[in-house]
A and B are shown apart, each in its own frame.
Chain A
């Protein structure tokens, strides 16, 4: 960020065109008046954005931008786009640069490409669908039961007789019946989570070193200190609520974030309970069932609490995402919504809608609809989790990292207490 040291500029001629294609349609209208940097409520005084980023983007300075924490310090309030005298929509430009960054840092890189082009959308939906169908045994001519028997430990076998393998199992609607063994669903999602973690680890490492190159400043704070400061801003959405003209975007986003947290906790307890009580403890001899979800122990307090949390989480998620869709569809807002935005919004909406509908159909006793919608729910959850590091969902991790980095270098905005 040294402005007076002469340096050789290495423009990437394709970069500007690609960023324009990712939602920065009006980028080239910018004439560098810097109104945006002043009206932005979260732009730091000594390293303001987005004026500088607009120039770098126009000039094709990809390397600088990929290592620019400001790109992720931006919460796309849209104040800059509202006040921009040229209608260059800096908020959208930074959004497009972020989308470019998910692709740029994607590990493996083909996933970045797959998530940034609509032509790969069918494949992104088909992959989890086919994988799940295969596990359900539909595509594998009834073998899964045998596979289950052969690959799973003997101690799991006691559950197997309860389940039939069929797409629309008969009798009481229990979604677990769709699979030869409940453990197989977990096996898929636990493996997926591990891959997601590894992918993020590699991408964020690259991102951090890119930032070290662009921001040539000494560390002023430890990473640990920066982490806890960032977390305390992040949880109550302190920065997002600083937004002026588009304050209405912060609240739905925060509700959506907390609905994710709640639903994550519910899922973790249910799945964890299954592995601890139904798998591990029976293995040492006792016949116990998951107190968090066991039909035998329906009245347990923990079970009821989880049910309430699940319902509340789902309600918050739907409220948040519908508000966001309304906001995005408002023609009065000077905000583009790119393919990457709609993809992420669509997946979140699908997760919520299929979750609630499958629940409703189950209670209504309509087996065919309940099982079909639950299947779609699993596909949507796979797309949310599995594509986390490459879709717009990744902004959570990148933004957290960038804010942390800015705090380490002491270039983050100083918010009023």
Chain B
């Protein structure tokens, strides 16, 4: 085994960062993970099902969390940020800033603090679909399983009330930000992605129409730990939808929005059609697309979803207008196979918004980004390795394969 004296810094604790960390640590390296959320697991934790086997996310994440928990070579910081980096390949001086630990490791997630907290904020984890208390457990499966206080939304007085309600002394209203320094041999950039902002999609309702949701919101609606306990309901009135349209390429492959094809949205929508159909066996479902990019081994999945479903209508033509029409939504497209314009009334529309790199203000000397803000990974010269969706828009399996390779590269950089 190689002598890996310096740790590897992994920025981002999503599926790519976690996989890189576990793979590298289990090969003998020391790893430090820095995650900006108060929990690990990233976007995958927010899914309802993920490919290839349509598992719920705890399926893949839990085993990784366990591997992290029992591996002394992995240190991780949540609610933290890399604030400065200097040095070069094999020798990086890194400063990490930890947000105040208002809730510490003594927390048992009993929930007493939440009961006394009056302030409510839109749930970040549920993409704003519901409200949660300013002090709350980020989500049921959160790792670490610890409450988190949103200092941007509530006052310290509110926090003091919470502290008074805590039997375990786990809440410290006087906590201050801390800094940690690490001398790392390599840096893995696993900063992942964020869904493209619906507010920018002026033709598709600009985020203003309550029954127009994004594909990531749909995952939360369908998830059992989501705002509706897994029942897919119209956000405007919490009623069962009588028709749903899936709108592909909502801002993707678009010079005015995201230039890239995110490569996962077509299959994601087909997956969603699949689970919507299980809940609602008879409602009309529409999918508007430019072309269906269900690639590789998933090509059959498209056939599986689309065939023998008389109430599923596939329209080849991009939706270029969504307007409110009374209680309904009116979608307009040109059906390019008939050469005529088509107007479709539906109850609810799901925009297949793409993956935008979540750079999150990170700036490291020597690290370059391309014109779409994806990491240009040149580990041999820079000692910085881009991985997963920070490097290109890919699905979970690709991220994990990519992470395994990144772990090896990172170890080579530390030698």
Contacts and interface: CB of A to CB of B under 8 A. Distances in A.
Interface stretch (B335-343, B377-385, B388-396): B335-343
- Chain A interface size band reads 20 to 34
Interface in A285-338: none
B203 A3 contact: no
B255 A85 contact: yes
Interface string B244-262: 0000010001111100000
A86 B333 CA distance: 17
Contacts of B249: 33, 85
Contacts of A37: 320, 334, 341
A38 B255 CA distance: 18
A39 B320 contact: yes
Contacts of B337: 3
B35 interface: no
B192 interface: no
A48 to B, nearest CB: 5
A369 B339 CA distance: 59
Contacts of B321: 38-39
B255 A48 contact: no
A3 B335 CA distance: 12
A1 interface: yes
Given A33-B249, A34-B334, A38-B334, A52 B254 contact: no
B23 interface: no
B256 A45 contact: no
Given A3-B339, A39-B203, A45-B341, A34 B256 contact: no
Interface in A36-58: 37-39, 43, 45-48, 51-52
Interface string B141-183: 0000000000000000000000000000000000000000000
Interface in B320-373: 320-321, 332-334, 336-341
Given A1-B339, A48-B340, A87-B255, A31 B320 contact: no
B339 A47 contact: yes
B256 A85 contact: yes
Contacts of A85: 249, 253-257, 318
A77 B257 CA distance: 22
B42 interface: no
Nearest to A29: B255
Contacts of A1: 339
A32 B249 CA distance: 13
Given A33-B249, A51-B336, A85-B254, A38 B341 contact: yes
Contacts of B290: 31-33
18 contacts: A3-B338, A32-B290, A33-B317, A34-B320, A35-B203, A37-B334, A37-B341, A38-B332, A38-B334, A45-B341, A46-B341, A48-B334, A48-B339, A48-B341, A51-B334, A83-B203, A84-B255, A85-B249
Interface of A: 1, 3, 31-35, 37-39, 43, 45-48, 51-52, 83-87
The 5 A-B pairs of least Cβ separation, nearest first, read A38-B320, A85-B254, A34-B334, A33-B318, A37-B334
